[in-house]
Chains A and B, each alone.
Chain A
């Protein structure tokens, strides 16, 4: 399990070429979309469809990487790989962990 999320704004901005405007836009979108992203993860788990869970975990991995959350992205990648191997049912705890992580990132980003 990843430790607490720490916002590394400098590294994110470096990747965005120092563009504060794009950074602010992405933060807004992440915070705005966090509920639907968590819901999508939950629905994927409930569906029992490994391909859907793999895709949602992949999306979450990308979101977390965008905000330089390497630890969270690594957890999402684990879920993605296990789903690729057809594993769904025993991933409930890991999925819950990802949902919690997404909300934690959103809270930190909202706090600025």
Chain B
């Protein structure tokens, strides 16, 4: 059903046009004698066709069209202006002002029907295109979400590949990623940044792929030389992830290179200090160390939560960014929830 807005200060013309509109079929005429009242109606309603007289009190047809076109989303609606045959100059002005076509007085039914049908066809085409554009946009959004999900899954699996060569578990990746998100929340980072670190943190140890087994899996303490090789995983991780077009993988590269830096400058690989260390690196350092301490491994028992917290607190300003430790401890209830959700013996949900 097409809504056809008719504005004419003459009763007889309104009645005539209404009757002709009804004869078109599938149309609902909406009548106004006063253009200002019609304009008010148009603020909350969208007609499919506007038929407006030129000469009216308060506001003429040209001014009406101009005000109508200025309303949001009314720029494309077809407008027919009714003029007398002698008003050629008015027709030019109306065309420039946004009218799509004209009707001449006295109104002729054949001419009226043809012009009105043309305008309504135009409107139907516009609506079809708008619906199609909306549909395509929804489809693109859906497909993009699928690609993003696939990207997330791949990142998780790449991270798992590295962890498989290590005593660490898939649950460790999930826990430290969620702890990182809790710290980001506590630091008042944006939702987008919180989501970014959640997705990027799992890549922190991806460089371990390039570390020989005899070092990576050595049960005892590493020699100085072995530890130097082990430290290389930070650079290897960055090497693997750098120059990606993906924002998440870029963030992963930053996390990989910086998560072993220490706040006092004694970390590796660059010995960066304080805020020289990228924020994501400072966040992940807290999350990764806390989870490593509180997890049981073949070569060590799990620390108690109290001891792990004490370690973090003692490391404020030396090992860790004090703000990140504070944000982590402030989210303690969430930390406990995450520990419950991702236990070592369970396969985590991707």
List residues of chain A with CB under 8 Å of any chain B CB: 15-17, 19, 21-22, 25-26, 29-30, 33, 52, 55, 58-59, 61-63, 65-66, 68, 77
Contacts and interface: CB of A to CB of B under 8 A. Distances in A.
Contact of B10 (A19, A52, A59): A59
Interface of B: 9-13, 15-16, 19-20, 23, 55-57, 84, 86, 105-110, 113
Given A62-B105, A65-B106, A25 B13 contact: no
A112 to B, nearest CB: 18
A1 B84 CA distance: 21
Contacts of A52: 57
A33 B107 contact: no
B4 to A, nearest CB: 16
B16 A33 contact: no
Nearest to B110: A17
Residue among A21, A30, A55, A77 with most chain B CB within 10 A: A55
A58 B84 contact: yes
Contacts of B113: 17
A77 B10 contact: no
B108 A26 contact: no
A33 B12 contact: yes
A76 B57 CA distance: 18
Contacts of A65: 84, 105-106
B86 A77 contact: yes
B106 A62 contact: yes
Contact of B12 (A15, A17, A30, A68): A30
A94 B20 CA distance: 33
B17 to A, nearest CB: 10
Contacts of A68: 106
Nearest to B19: A22
B23 A62 contact: no
Nearest to B16: A26
29 contacts: A15-B107, A15-B109, A16-B109, A17-B23, A17-B113, A19-B23, A21-B19, A22-B16, A25-B16, A26-B12, A29-B11, A29-B15, A30-B12, A52-B57, A55-B55, A59-B10, A59-B55, A62-B10, A62-B13, A62-B84, A62-B105, A62-B106, A63-B10, A63-B12, A65-B105, A66-B13, A66-B16, A66-B105, A66-B106
A25 B55 contact: no
Contacts of A26: 12, 15-16
A66 B16 CA distance: 10
Nearest to A21: B19
Nearest to B105: A62
Residue among A29, A33, A62, A77 with most chain B CB within 10 A: A62
Contacts of B55: 55, 58-59
Contacts of B16: 22, 25-26, 66
B86 to A, nearest CB: 7
Given A59-B9, A63-B12, A22 B20 contact: yes
Nearest to B9: A59
Contact of A25 (B15, B57, B105, B107): B15
B13 to A, nearest CB: 7
Contacts of B23: 17, 19
A61 B13 CA distance: 12
Q: What are the nearest 5 A-B pairs in CB distance?
A: A17-B109, A65-B106, A66-B106, A29-B12, A22-B19
A45 B11 CA distance: 21
B266 to A, nearest CB: 88
Contacts of B20: 22
